[in-house]
Amino acid sequence: MFKNKTIFISALDWGLGHATRCVPIIRQLQTNNTVIIGTTPLTHLIFDEEFPELHKIDIVPYNIKYSNKISIIAKLLLNAPRLLKVIKTEHQQLAEIIKKHKVDVVISDNRLGLYNTKIESIYITHQVNLQAGILSKVGNFIHHSYIKKFNQLWIPDFEDPQFALAGKLSAKGNLENVKYIGPLSRLGLLDNTNTHFEYLFLLSGPEPYRTDLENALLKIASKSTKPICLVRGTTNNLTTKIPANIKVFDLPKASVLSEIIINSETIICRSGYSTLMDLNKLNKKKLILIPTPTQTEQEYLGKYWQEKFLAQYLNQTEINAKLTI
């Protein structure tokens, strides 16, 4: 990939998925290069755990907020003035970082301002073709205008549509200098494949939706005696009483998370792309996907995986009526 280069890499702080999928890239890069990681208060949770030895630099967070009334694309458009300031700030920060640390290459996972015309600038995204209804056209126009500022576009998926995990989202269209790098996951297969849990609640994503889903699933699980595991995806305090048949983890290390997923029969989770890449890596087939409300990308992926990979798709409002454990 690269050799004897100083590389700066940073991920969007929109949940932890962008950070986790950068882990295998950093592991590969650090064998022959000097890697510096740009972190935010959220992404440092992953990068400090995985790479305590690497130099890290604080970079401006995006702090994207969700709405329970409008789609995330509409929310981003309404929030455009603030986001443009963030993009401008990170672009300026990068120029200072390049000068101070003599950076040769910058790799940005969905951070729109992390490019520089003086060095090789690489952008990572699976959302090349946004699926957002009537807002798709304007969303893609804006996104592509930023993508074209980078020298290369890396897509973490299979190029062949027959095997694509992201469906239409990852189709390159007319974009140039595109490289499909295959799905990315920090998790790994283990020899121990005995099923210890009949269900795994694998939670992630923004509040209050994460807590809403956690509470709904725990309420249903309280009526069951089956062995269940809950991976909360947060270090926030758990206020709900946990039945004896449920084992709880907050933010387990990658090796522990791999073992939990492998040893679970049915996975109930969000249909976020990084989660789906992890489940694909570990060959998990029995999935119940519940997209984050108003997040059109997850709604598309949930329906796509239901059709393509036989996952079960549920809206969050359907949980009480249709989910039986």
Ordered per-residue pLDDT tens for the chain, 325 residues: 799 999 999 999 988 999 999 999 999 999 999 999 999 999 999 999 999 999 999 999 998 766 666 666 666 677 788 999 999 999 999 999 999 999 999 999 999 999 999 999 999 999 999 988 888 898 899 999 999 999 999 999 999 999 999 999 999 999 999 999 999 999 998 876 677 999 999 998 888 889 999 999 999 999 999 999 999 998 888 888 898 999 999 999 999 999 999 999 999 999 999 999 999 999 999 999 999 988 899 999 999 999 999 999 999 999 988 998 9
Q: At what angle do helices 17-29 and 273-281 cross, to 10 degrees?
A: 50
- Please check whether residue 35 is in contact with residue 61, taking contact to mean a CB–CB distance below 8 angstroms: no
Strand 55-58 versus strand 34-39 pairing type: parallel
pTM given for the model? 0.94
- The H or E element containing residue 155 is strand 152-155
The secondary structure element, H or E, covering residue 303 is helix 296-309
Amino acid 70: pLDDT = 61
Q: How far apart are CA 178 and CA 157, in angstroms?
A: 12
Cα pseudo-dihedral 92, 95, 97, 101, rounded to 10: -170
| Residue 210 structure tokens | 């994460």
Neighbours of 194 (CB within 10 A): 6
DSSP label of 98 = H
Token pair, residue 154, equals 């890396």
| 208 preceded by a cis bond (ω within 30 of 0) | yes
Question: Can you tell me the distance from the alpha carbon of 291 to that of 300, in angstroms, rounded to the nearest whole number?
Answer: 9
